[in-house]
Amino acid sequence: MLTLKIVSPEKVEYEGAIERVVVPGTMGQFEILNDHAPIISTLQRGTVEYVNGEGHTQLEIQGGFVEVQKNVVSLCVELC
């Protein structure tokens, strides 16, 4: 399992365990799964999609950053 934390300037949008997340990277969309290599990347306008125990969730963003380290995915985003 991964831990996902999505933070916007207004509040913490989500924090919890997930199975996977797909983010709109500036070089193209990519998926982050368990044991993903450490990475820091910029994000462009698009949809963040993640799957947790409650199902599939989508979040529209204007852009931001993603960091992955030791199964923790941190997103700092501006929402649409």
Q: Tokens 């999505």 label which residue?
A: 6
29-to-3, 10, 12, 53, 74 alpha-carbon distances in Å: 20, 25, 23, 23, 16
34-to-17, 23, 44, 68 alpha-carbon distances in Å: 11, 15, 23, 10
- The predicted structure's pLDDT at residue 24: 98
- The predicted structure's pLDDT at residue 22: 98
Going from the first residue of the chain to its last (80 residues), give the mean pLDDT of each consecutive group of 10, the final group possibly shorter.
Answer: 96 97 96 96 98 94 98 97
- The predicted structure's pLDDT at residue 41: 97
Give this prediction's pTM: 0.93
- The predicted structure's pLDDT at residue 49: 98
Q: Tell me the C-alpha distance between 58 and 55, whole Å.
A: 10
